[in-house]
Amino acid sequence: MANSALKLSAIDAYYGDSHVLQQVSFELGEGRLLGLLGRNGAGKSTCMNVSVGLLPPRAGAVEVFGATVTRLPPEMIARRGVALVPQGRRVFKSLSVRENLAVAARTEHVGRRHAPWTMLTVFAMFPRLAERRAQLAGHLSGGEQQMLAIGRALMSNPRVLLMDEPSEGLAPQIVAEVMATIRKLKESGLSIVLVEQSPKLAFDIADDIVILNSGRVAVVSTAAALKADGVDLRQHLGVF
Ligand SMILES: Nc1ncnc2c1ncn2[C@@H]1O[C@H](COP(=O)(O)OP(=O)(O)O)[C@@H](O)[C@H]1O
Ligand SMILES: [Mg+2]
C-alpha cells in the first residue's frame, strides 16, 4: 500500500456512556480515495470527529502521515493538514462567501512545501462562488453551500480531506458536479475520505471501501475487488 495519510488503529470512542466506535481500524493511503459506508448511525461521522480531534477517543491511535495525533486539539491536527467538510455543510450563514473562505485561510503548515489554495484558486475551481462572493452564505442554494464548504476546507491547504456526506440532500445533477469536483481533488494529489450513504456513488469514485456496521468495521476492501466479487452487502447497508 501507498504511505499512510491517515490511520485509525483500534479506536474506541464514546458519547458519554454510549460506546459508539468499537476497535475501529482503517487506513487511507496517500493519494487514495477511501469510501466510508454504513447505515445511518453506523459511526461514520464519529470516525470523522475522532480523526480531526473533535472527539478524543478513549482508546486507540490516530496517525497522520505516520505522526501520532491522538488526543491533540483540533487546531493542532488541522495544522498537520487534515480538513473536514462536515455533514450538513455548516457554512457561516450570516457571513458572505468571501468571508467564509477568508476565515479558513491557513498559511502555517507542518511538512508542507507549498500551499496551492487561495481565494483565487478556490474561485477558479468554483466559478459560481466567484459570482456570488459578496452574497451571504445563507442565501446560496444547497449545492452552492456544499461547494463553499469544500472551498472553505481547501483554504486550509489540507493534505487529507475528509468529506462527510457531501451529496446529502442535493439534486442528482448537483451531486454529479460535486463528484466531479472530488475526482479533480483526487487528481491533484489529495488523500480523501468520502463518507457516503450511497454505495453506488462510493463504488464509482473510491479506490478503497470501508463499511461500518454498528460501530465496527465490517468490510475493508478495494472498490474493484468488491465490484468483481459482487458481494452481498445488504446485511451491512440495507437494501439498495
Ligand atoms: N453528539 C452525540 N451524542 C450522543 N450520541 C451521538 C452523538 N452523535 C452521534 N451519536 C450516536 O452515535 C452513533 C453513531 O453516530 P454517527 O457517527 O453520527 O453515525 P453516522 O454518521 O454513520 O450516521 C449513533 O447511534 C448516534 O445516535
Ligand atoms: Mg453521519
Distance CA 143, CA 183 (A): 17
Range of the structural domain that residue 86 is part of: 4-237
Distance CA 222, CA 209 (A): 6
pLDDT score at 237: 75
Counting the structural domains of the chain, the total is 1
Distance CA 21, CA 112 (A): 31
Q: What is the pLDDT of residues 153-170, one digit of tens each?
A: 999 999 999 999 999 999
For residues 5-22, give the mean pLDDT: 97
The residue whose CA has the least distance to atom 16 of ligand 1 is 43
Cβ of 46 below 6 Å from ligand 1: yes
C-alpha dihedral, 137 to 200 to 179 to 166, nearest 10°: 20
pLDDT score at 109: 61
For the cut 80, the answer to whether the pLDDT of residue 201 exceeds it is yes
The residue whose CA has the least distance to atom 7 of ligand 1 is 15
Q: What is the pLDDT of residues 42-58, one digit of tens each?
A: 999 999 999 999 999 99
Q: What is the pLDDT of residues 109-162, one digit of tens each?
A: 656 656 789 999 999 999 999 999 999 999 999 999 999 999 999 999 999 999
Q: Give me the chain's average pLDDT, please.
A: 92
Distance CA 236, CA 184 (A): 30
**Which residue's entry shows cell 499512510?**
4
Greatest extent of the chain over all pairs of C-alpha atoms, in Å: 50
Reduced to 3 states (helix: H, G, I; strand: E, B; else coil), residue 120 is helix
Instruction: Tell me, in angstroms, the distance from the centre of ligand 2 to residue 43's CA.
Output: 7
The CATH number linked to 144 is 3.40.50.300
Taking the CA of residue 42 as reference, the ligand 1 atom at the shortest distance is 22
Distance CA 213, CA 209 (A): 13
pLDDT score at 82: 97
Cβ of 81 below 6 Å from ligand 1: no
